[in-house]
């Protein structure tokens, strides 16, 4: 009986997030996982009835299990929103996370490829006589030219490509729309892919997606990650590279070349400028390394 009430409470909250914020299914599932983990750790105390002491013990227990600080921060954010909702609908009078204290995560700068490394990666696919290689080339070019999230890339529908205007229409987090320039190079490769490779991959099937798998279906994030991993190994890049690394490279190279931070924020689809400011730290770190490497008094 207890579990049924608890699960219903979680379901109601997830439905509220979907209706109010229009969050993606992946984000909603992350919220659900956090709440189910909390409910499991708090048992036999019900999640919706937990107090400050219960939550302090919960985080102490998770810390003892060596949960990453980032995981604990995300969990605290999830619980704060959950209890805010409980207060809003009148099931609680207070939010027990209010006195937990603010958890801080040490700032870690993202791995950023140099322009030369990016150029090598973009040239890695065998795109001359290979449909898969041409598809991968078009995807990599678009990813670096526009800074898309990998989920935005693999879920890109045909009608989002405005090739004549050189822009792509993206529905990002919270279902917010933004128009992002693609650049002439990416437009050229996407046009070539659509004309030559996509019909080959489609195999007389129907699909509204731009990028297709070898079976003519929508590409998955995992498949594209493996393709990038393959090319990284092929050209001998030693650092860890993921699809998100090209998004970081896109933003960092713009900032390094003088782009306004608010423009970069709009291109990336960040809701908060503070999220974009990480790239100013990346640029400063790069300048410091260059100074130490080349200045005679460094």
pLDDT in tens, 189-247: 999 999 999 999 998 889 999 999 999 999 998 999 999 999 999 999 888 888 888 88
- DSSP-derived secondary structure letter, 190: H
Quick check: is 279 catalytic? yes
What is the model's pLDDT at position 4?
61
Task: Name the band, by pLDDT with cuts 50, 70 and 90, for residue 268.
Answer: confident
Point out which residues pair with 181 in neighbouring strands: 167
CATH number of 115-293: 1.10.443.10
CATH number of 2-99: 1.10.150.130
186 three-state secondary structure = helix
Q: Would residue 244 show up in a list of annotated catalytic residues for this protein?
A: yes
Both tokens assigned to 56:
């302090």
Decide if 217 is catalytic.
no
Catalytic residue selected from 198, 247, 248, 253 = 247
Segment 178-184 mean pLDDT: 89
Rounded to the nearest 5 percent, the helix, strand and coil shares of the chain are 65, 5, 30
* The pLDDT of residue 290 is above 80: no
The residue among 286, 278, 237 whose CA lies nearest residue 257 is: 286
Q: How far apart are CA 75 and CA 90, in angstroms?
A: 23
Question: What mean pLDDT comes out for the span 45-71?
Answer: 87
Phi, psi of 181 (to 5 degrees): -65, 145
Least confident of 51-65, 83-97, 237-251, 276-290: 276-290
Among residues 173, 221, 229, 281, the one annotated as catalytic is 173
Which residue in 81, 137, 149, 227 is the catalytic one? 149
Listed by start position, the domains of the chain span: 2-99, 115-293
**DSSP-assigned beta bridge partners for residue 168:** 161, 180
Over residues 61-89, the mean pLDDT reads 87
Q: Which is the catalytic residue, given 46, 229, 244, 281?
A: 244
**Cross-strand bridge partners of residue 177:** 171
Q: Is 173 a catalytic residue?
A: yes
- Marked catalytic residue, from 81, 137, 253, 270: 270
pTM above 0.75, yes or no: no
Q: Give me 245's structure tokens.
A: 């690394």
Give the range among 85-89, 123-127, 135-139, 242-246 with minimum mean pLDDT: 242-246
- The residue ranges of DSSP E strands in 5-128, in sequence order, are none
**Catalytic residue list contains 149:** yes
Q: How confident is the model at residue 298 (pLDDT cuts 50, 70, 90)?
A: very low
Higher-scoring residue by pLDDT: 24, 10: 10
Average pLDDT over residues 23-37: 88
Residue 156 has pLDDT above 70, yes or no: yes
């Amino acid at each position: 009986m207890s579990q049924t009430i608890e699960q219903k409470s979680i379901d109601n909250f997830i439905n509220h997030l979907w209706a109010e914020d229009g969050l993606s299914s992946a984000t909603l599932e992350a919220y659900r996982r956090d709440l189910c983990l909390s409910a499991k750790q708090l048992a036999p105390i019900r999640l919706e009835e937990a107090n400050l002491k219960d939550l302090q013990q919960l985080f102490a227990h998770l810390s003892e299990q060596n949960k990453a600080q980032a995981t604990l921060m995300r969990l605290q954010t999830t619980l704060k929103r959950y209890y805010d909702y409980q207060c809003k609908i009148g099931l609680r009078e207070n939010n027990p996370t209010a006195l937990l204290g603010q958890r801080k995560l040490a700032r870690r700068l993202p791995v950023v490829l140099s322009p030369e490394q990016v150029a090598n990666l973009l040239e890695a696919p065998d795109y001359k006589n290979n449909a898969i290689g041409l598809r991968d080339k078009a995807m990599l070019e678009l990813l670096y030219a526009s800074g898309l999230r990998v989920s935005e890339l693999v879920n890109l529908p045909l009608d989002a490509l405005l090739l004549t205007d050189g822009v792509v229409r993206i529905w990002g987090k919270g279902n917010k729309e933004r128009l992002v320039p693609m650049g002439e190079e990416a437009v050229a490769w996407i046009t070539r892919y659509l004309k030559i490779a996509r019909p080959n991959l489609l195999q007389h099937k129907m699909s509204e997606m731009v990028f297709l798998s070898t079976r003519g279906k929508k590409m998955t994030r995992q498949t594209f990650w493996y393709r990038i991993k393959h090319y990284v190994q092929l050209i001998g890049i030693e650092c860890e590279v993921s699809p998100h690394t090209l998004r970081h490279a896109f933003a960092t190279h713009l900032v390094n070349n003088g782009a306004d931070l608010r423009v970069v924020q709009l291109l990336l689809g960040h809701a908060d400028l503070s999220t974009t400011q990480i790239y100013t730290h990346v640029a400063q770190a790069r300048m410091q390394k260059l100074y130490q490497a080349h200045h005679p008094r460094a």
